[in-house]
Amino acid sequence: MPYCPSMYEHFHQLLGRWFDDVCPLGRIMADDVEQQVSHMISPSSWNRFETCPRMYWLSRQRLPRKAGMAASVGTAVHASVEDLLQEDYSHIGNTDDGWLPKEGERLLKIRWEEEKEIFHATPRRPQWKEDKWKEAINHQKGAIRMLLDHVGITGLDQEKITGALWRKIQSLAIAVEGELKTENGKLMGRLDLLMADVDSSGKMVGWLVADLKTGKAPKDELKVEVNRQLRLYRDILRDNNPNGPPIRTEGWYTADSSKWAALGENVLEDAYAAWQETIPGKIPLEPNIGDQSCGGFCDWKAWCPHWWQWRHDNNTLHKGDFSDAVILLHNYDQSSGSAVIELCEPRDNTGNVIPTGIRTGAKFDNRGKEALEELLESNHRGPIFIGSAMSNRNSWRIGHWCDVLPWSPIPDGEEYSRQDS
């Protein structure tokens, strides 16, 4: 397929009304639609709701969000690949090579610095890891390998990518990083790549939804929630474009350049049922108490009393190599970060605190130390939530990876409105 300087004009000619519908990605932007819809549900919020309705509800209360290094790396890599697909490289000769790795690194560095700035502006954050830069470069190379594979090329040294070859790849990118919505505005997602599937003659025969994943690649098949995410994107596109071409969808894992097809039935009916169940309200939704929620990863434990009561009831509170805890701070030496903390237990499932009298040494360092001192400077003097403290030693360590937040459990059955400071 010859390179067209204007990808919009090229695909408008190629797809006609289909492209008008899908660019940008079938999005419905009418203000009156958005005003009539109480909320939107995305694949991530759907997954969160199924794990624990209370977790989902808390995620919508504008509570302080936590930055993560893996997410920042992923965002920088995604954005740099999208930049590579959208930049104008008409000045690169058809046979010129050796330029793309340097250009990819240049664009990645810009996005890396943007993400670093956002990361450091987020109060809930661990330590930025500059040594992840090489990992980010490798993820970008993995994405480029999969784009080469899309045009039938494998094993090519990326130094050998010519201007003509890259423009051919660009010509197949219908849209990148777009917001995908149903016409009623209830379901949405963020689509990484919408690529044209073409046959050997260059004729467009379908669309490919490709979702870049910088996490660990599957061993045997896609995770259930990832499969459903990709099928939701597929089904929204189909619903928005009933006369469109065949659509297939894949997870593209940059760590090993593997592609995983998402197959299965239409999920829109289930998604709309989830939307109905997640209509927002001021009263907290019921928790799903158990190992998968209370015992697993949750960003909102500082505002939920139920994980704490669950840990206490099953005798796992303050046990293990890493612990979430509610503590009282008794002594703190700012110069060294050394402290004496008292472990607390729940009085009941409302989050009320009982001091246990059990005191232990603790060491706050790096971002953990900064977070504690910011909390003390805010004149907080009550119980403190500590997330993922290293507790398998005589003195607990609260490092850069830990949460240090005021213990602020939101009670069941009462209307809640966040008080902005």
The verdict on 320 and 181 lying in the same domain is: no
pLDDT (tens digit per residue) in 65-123: 999 999 999 999 999 999 999 999 999 999 999 999 999 999 999 999 999 999 999 99
106/108 Cα distance (integer angstroms): 5
pLDDT score of 9: 47
Same domain, 206 and 313: no
| Contact predicate 238/229, CB 8 Å | no
H or E segment and range at residue 8: helix 7-15
**Chain position carrying tokens 């109905």:** 276
> Residue 208's beta-bridge partner residues?
195, 248
Q: Report residue 67 as tokens.
A: 């930055």
Is the domain of 234 the same as that of 190? yes
Instruction: Give the residue-averaged pLDDT of 269-275.
Output: 97
Higher pLDDT, 149 or 25: 149
Query: How many Cβ atoms from other residues are within 10 Å of residue 103's Cβ?
Result: 17
| Residue 279 within any structural domain of the chain | no
| 92 and 195 housed in the same domain | yes
Instruction: Return the H-helix or E-strand segment holding 367.
Output: helix 366-377
Residue 396 sits in which domain range? 301-406
Pairing verdict, β 338-346 and 173-181: unpaired
| Structural domain count of the chain | 2
280 SS3 class: coil
The answer on 269 and 312 residing in a single domain is no
Q: How would you classify residue 342: left for phi > 0, otherwise alpha for psi between -120 and 50, otherwise beta?
A: beta
Looking up tokens 């259930």, which residue turns up? 224
Alpha helical stretches, state H, 219-350: 224-240, 268-277, 306-313
- CA-to-CA distance for 413 and 198, rounded, in angstroms? 55
For residue 200, the model assigns a pLDDT of: 85
